[in-house]
């Protein structure tokens, strides 16, 4: 059975380049309902915890620097088949491989600065959503 919620972040690069509005428009136009959202900035500790799974990767330091350099938008999105459908909407991690019309094709500039995050499983969507939001911030 597939779940109906996913977790996303609009990353510092897309916030800096003024793309919060167009990205939220793409998300809602694709049928996702925003059930939680906040404008915030990750501390170094937040980023190291959130991305702990990538701790041994050579790009971990760069990833933490990038994700903490400015504000982000964090959100929980609701739709049938949310995780899979949202990953299709954002496109491949590397924007050079992202399909036309996807959020990363439109707004990402590199594999590191790739505009948005999307949870890769129902389990991680729940963990990542709980990392950012308390129960009374989810509607």
Q: Residue numbers of the site for ligand CMP (CB under 6 A)?
A: 54, 59, 62-63, 93, 111-112, 114, 117
Q: Could you tell me the smallest distance in angstroms from the CB atom of residue 103 to ligand CMP?
A: 12
| 117 is a catalytic site residue | yes
Min dist CB 136 to ligand CMP, Å, is 27
Tokens of 100: 């036309």
* Strand residue runs (E) in the chain: 5-10, 33-40, 72-78, 116-118
CB closer to ligand CMP out of 4 and 93: 93
Shortest Cβ distance from residue 54 to ligand CMP (Å)? 6
Q: Name the residues annotated as catalytic.
A: 117
């Amino acid at each position: 059975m597939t779940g109906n919620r996913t977790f996303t972040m609009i990353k510092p690069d897309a916030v800096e380049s003024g793309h919060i509005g167009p990205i939220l428009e793409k998300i809602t136009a694709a049928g996702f309902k925003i059930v939680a959202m906040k404008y915030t900035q990750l501390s170094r500790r937040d980023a190291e915890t959130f991305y702990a799974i990538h701790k041994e990767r050579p790009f971990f330091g760069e990833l933490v620097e990038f994700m903490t350099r400015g504000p982000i938008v964090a959100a929980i999105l609701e739709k049938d088949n949310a995780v899979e459908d949202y990953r299709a909407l954002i496109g491949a991690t590397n924007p050079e491989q992202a399909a036309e019309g996807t959020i990363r094709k439109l707004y990402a500039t590199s594999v590191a600065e790739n505009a948005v995050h999307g949870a890769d499983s129902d389990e991680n969507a729940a963990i990542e959503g709980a990392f950012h939001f308390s129960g009374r911030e989810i509607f």
